[in-house]
């Protein structure tokens, strides 16, 4: 991938994460952390939903010919997310009172190209 292509890809990813964050806030979740990184990986969004901490993986797919965004969260990706979430929980105080949940937000362009289609999969997989 060229530098320009990589930069465009990153901007698209950031825009998808922002769209997902705004969508979840409208659903009454609270943003806790964006782009948490550690040696195990990255979690796009960490949100609070009542008494649950929600670790959100955001997937954007411009085309569905290779499967949708949700299908791209493989078992290996799930393992990385679980390790990263565990690291976050161990490094952050006051998290013991919260249940943990893993959600996936799959975003695709809509047919009318005015607004993206957002598919929110709650409790997409278990730790």
pLDDT tens, residue by residue, 48-79: 999 999 999 999 876 554 555 566 788 999 99
Which pLDDT belongs to residue 7? 39
What mean pLDDT comes out for the span 22-45?
A: 97
Write down the pLDDT at residue 117.
84
Q: Please give the angle made by the CA atoms of 55, 76 and 39, to the nearest 5 degrees.
A: 65
Residue with tokens 């949940």: 101
Provide the H-helix boundaries in 1-127.
3-26, 75-91
Evaluate the CA torsion angle 28, 31, 32, 38 in order and state its sign. Answer: positive
pLDDT confidence of 127, banded at 50, 70, 90? confident
- pTM as predicted: 0.84
Domains in the chain: ranges and CATH: 3-125 (3.40.1350.10)
């Amino acid at each position: 991938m060229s530098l320009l292509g990589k930069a465009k890809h990153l901007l698209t990813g950031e825009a998808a994460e922002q769209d997902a964050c705004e969508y979840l806030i409208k659903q009454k979740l609270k943003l806790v952390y964006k782009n948490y990184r550690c040696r195990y990986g990255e979690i796009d969004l960490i949100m609070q939903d009542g008494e649950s901490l929600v670790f959100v993986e955001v997937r954007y797919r411009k085309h569905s010919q290779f499967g949708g965004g949700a299908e791209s969260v493989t078992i290996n990706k799930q393992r990385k997310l679980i390790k990263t979430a565990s690291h976050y929980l161990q490094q952050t105080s006051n998290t013991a009172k919260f249940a943990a949940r893993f959600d996936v937000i799959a975003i695709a362009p809509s047919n009318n190209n005015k607004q993206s289609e957002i598919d929110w999969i709650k409790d997409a997989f278990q730790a």
